[in-house]
Structures are given as structure tokens and as C-alpha cells.
Amino acid sequence: MRDTLVLCIKAAVVGVLLNVLLSFTAPLLSNADVPAEETVGVKRFYLEVLNMFVNHKANIYSSSLIVAVAVFVSVGVAKLL
């Protein structure tokens, strides 16, 4: 049981670190100022993902908390299965 808890905590910390890292680096990958609503297909999906990271950067604490909880619970449930 303790091993599962430690794994859940480690995974949550890694998730938060990735959330912060990607929130600051992913928007740098965008070379287009075209809104996602004006594009189609794969490019639209790509821009929506980049826009989500911009939103995560603007709300870094709440998005990191959500990521931590989601990862913690998902790893815990996966270990129980």
C-alpha cells in the first residue's frame, strides 16, 4: 500500500513539473497568429493544444493542482486494477 502511495505522489509531481515546463515552452512552438477557429484538421488541433498550454500558463496554480489530482487518482486506480 505504501509503495502505491509513493508511486502516486511521484507521478503527480512529475505531472505538475511537465505541466509547468510545457506551459512555458509549448507556446514557443507556435509560428502562426491564426486563431484555431479559422483553421481546419490537424493544424486546428495543434493550435488548440497550444492555446490550452497558454491557458495553463495563465492559470498555472489551478491547472497544476488539477493535473496533480488527475495523475494521482489515475495511477492509484490503475495500480488497483
Closest CA to 76 of 21, 15, 19: 15
pLDDT of 78: 94
pLDDT at 38: 65
pTM metric for this prediction: 0.77
DSSP 3-state helix, strand, coil percentages of the chain (rounded to 5)?
Answer: 85, 0, 15
Q: What is the pLDDT of residue 77?
A: 95
pLDDT, tens digit, 9 for 90 and up, residues 25-78:
887 776 656 565 666 777 778 888 888 888 888 899 999 999 999 999 999 999
What is the chain's Cα-based Rg? 16
Query: Confidence band (pLDDT; 50, 70, 90) for 13?
Result: very high
